[in-house]
Chains A and B, each alone.
Chain A
Amino acid sequence: MTETQLILSRRQALKGASAFALTLVSAGLLAPGAHADAAAVDAAIKKLVKGTPTEGKIKMDLPQIAENGNTVPVTFEVESPMSADDYVKTVHLFAEGNPTPSVASFYFTPQSGMARATTRMRMAGTQNVVVVAEMSNGKVYMAKQQVKVTIGGCGG
């Protein structure tokens, strides 16, 4: 190994080390615990839903800013006639920045009349909320909205 190569590799090693330190810092900032991210949500969607989601058909009603992450109201509505042969089967709710991406799943029937539901969810911090809807004909739709959270709702 020549001297320049040695210096280079030392530099790289140093660079690597500082990158690692940075990762630790940002991980520390994200504490407590590990959090899901967009990729984890995508993986969770793939696990639950067949087919690739396209945008549209879903209306979400969420606050833009939530003061208390312990209880953030969420409403969604999926456009559908809700007839015996064309209805919304399942709606999944995900959070990109929570310890686990799944929040809840809702199972509708034609008898529901309307694919709309309201609940309240916990949010660890500012993050995107994702709604994925599976229709009876196999089509999949999704929608996403960011919520700014002032105080996280993850225990502690």
Chain B
Amino acid sequence: MANIKPRVRIPKSAKKGDVVEIKTLIEHKMETGQRKDKEGNKIPRKIINRFECRFDGNLVFASDWHPAVSANPYLAFHYRAEKSGEFEFKWIEDGGAEFTKKGKITVS
């Protein structure tokens, strides 16, 4: 799992009420379960099946993913900034492994 790196881009600061864009990307093969190896055996499915974004502990955005989401899944979404605080981003893999990343925003 050493090669799974989540990356997030959020603005460092925003004005109260601004809708900011959050861009996320995680390096992951997103193995569909459709492919076969050289011997013709099915390669088992292993994808990130859920993404969650929390702000100061409250779930503000989430997404469920199926094998049709591309490798190294990219996701951009929005958030209305009301106060300073910390985002927590979480990616959950088939089998339950979790990858997290945090980021702060200052709202004036």
Which A residues contact B (CB, under 8 angstroms)?
Answer: 32-33, 70-72, 82, 95, 98-100, 102-114, 116-123, 153-156
CA distance A148 to B34 in the complex (A): 22
Q: Is A108 in contact with B19, judged by CB distance below 8 angstroms?
A: no
CA distance A118 to B23 in the complex (A): 9
Q: Is A33 in contact with B75, judged by CB distance below 8 angstroms?
A: no
A-B contact pairs, 9 of them (CB 8 A): A100-B66, A103-B66, A104-B64, A104-B68, A105-B63, A118-B74, A119-B73, A120-B70, A154-B34
Interface of B is mostly: strand
**Closest Cβ neighbor of A108 among chain B residues:** B61
Chain B residue numbers with a CB within 8 Å of A108 are 61
Render B54-84 as a binary contact track against A, CB cut-off 8 A, 1 for contact: 0100111111111111110111111110100
Chain A residue numbers with a CB within 8 Å of B61 are 106-109, 111-112
The reply on B16 being an interface residue by CB < 8 A is no
The listed residue (B32, B63, B69, B70) touching A155 by CB distance below 8 A is B32
Q: Is B68 in contact with A112, judged by CB distance below 8 angstroms?
A: no
Q: Is B77 in contact with A112, judged by CB distance below 8 angstroms?
A: yes
Chain A residue numbers with a CB within 8 Å of B70 are 70-72, 119-122, 153
Chain A residue numbers with a CB within 8 Å of B5 are none
Q: Is B80 in contact with A122, judged by CB distance below 8 angstroms?
A: no
The reply on B101 being an interface residue by CB < 8 A is no
Q: Is B34 in contact with A99, judged by CB distance below 8 angstroms?
A: yes
Q: Is B60 in contact with A155, judged by CB distance below 8 angstroms?
A: no
Known A104-B64, A119-B69; 12 more pairs at CB < 8 Å: A95-B68, A99-B67, A103-B68, A103-B69, A105-B64, A107-B64, A109-B59, A113-B80, A120-B73, A122-B68, A155-B36, A156-B35
Chain A residue numbers with a CB within 8 Å of B62 are 106-107
Q: In the complex, how many angstroms separate the beta carbon of A8 from the nearest chain B beta carbon?
A: 44
Q: Is B68 in contact with A111, judged by CB distance below 8 angstroms?
A: no
Chain A residue numbers with a CB within 8 Å of B63 are 104-107, 117, 119
CA distance A116 to B64 in the complex (A): 15
| Nearest 8 Cβ contacts at the A-B interface | A113-B80, A113-B19, A155-B35, A114-B78, A120-B70, A118-B76, A103-B68, A71-B70
Chain A residue numbers with a CB within 8 Å of B65 are 104
**Closest Cβ neighbor of B66 among chain A residues:** A102
Q: In the complex, how many angstroms separate the beta carbon of B86 from the nearest chain A beta carbon?
A: 14
